[in-house]
């Protein structure tokens, strides 16, 4: 009597597939900052799938995409911190905060408030009035007729 054939899959194949999936997700998620975490998990799975043998094609692709995701996530995070803490961005946030304080205290803004805050520093490029108007509604003073 013949013994039944069992379809036993190598556990390393599952780890390689998981590494490939996490690597693809890490590349997709580069802009969110989660790519570092997801890519690190993909690298670990790729290394674990190797065992004592060679890398499979899935493990190689998972390793490569995970490394790209990790490096891309680091680059995006560094760029974001440099941009946020640069002088121009900080000054724009301070001017926007001043505009917000005026809006909160008065309950409304008119064009003179926008001009005062947006042209606070003549050496700097003034903020665009349209951008400020999208955040805070501007009401024209109605003339008594």
What are the per-10-residue average pLDDT scores of the chain (145 residues)? 70 88 94 88 92 84 95 89 74 75 72 63 50 49 46
Domains of the chain by residue range? 11-84, 87-135
Q: What's the confidence (pLDDT) of residue 7?
A: 65
Q: What's the confidence (pLDDT) of residue 116?
A: 65
Distance CA(109)–CA(97), nearest Å, equals 13
Max Cα distance, the chain (Å): 106
Distance CA(48)–CA(55), nearest Å, equals 10
Q: What's the confidence (pLDDT) of residue 42?
A: 95
β-partners of residue 138 are 109
Measure Cα distances from 26 to 16, 23, 49, 54, 104 in Å: 15, 5, 18, 24, 41
Distance CA(49)–CA(9), nearest Å, equals 13
Q: What's the confidence (pLDDT) of residue 87?
A: 66
Measure Cα distances from 51 to 15, 16, 73, 117, 132 in Å: 10, 11, 28, 63, 58
């Amino acid at each position: 009597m013949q013994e039944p054939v069992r379809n036993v899959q190598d556990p390393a194949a599952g780890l390689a597939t998981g590494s490939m999936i996490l690597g693809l997700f890490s590349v997709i998620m580069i802009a969110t900052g989660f790519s570092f975490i997801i890519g690190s998990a993909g690298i670990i799975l790729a290394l674990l799938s190797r065992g004592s043998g060679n890398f499979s094609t899935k493990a190689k692709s998972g390793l490569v995409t995970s490394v790209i995701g990790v490096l891309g996530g680091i680059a995006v995070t560094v760029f974001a911190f440099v941009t946020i803490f640069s002088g121009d961005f900080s000054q724009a946030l301070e001017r926007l905060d001043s505009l917000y304080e005026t809006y909160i205290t008065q309950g409304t803004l008119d064009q003179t408030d926008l001009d005062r805050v947006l042209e606070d520093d003549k050496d700097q490029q003034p903020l665009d009035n349209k951008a400020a108007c999208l955040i805070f509604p501007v009401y024209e003073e109605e003339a008594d007729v």
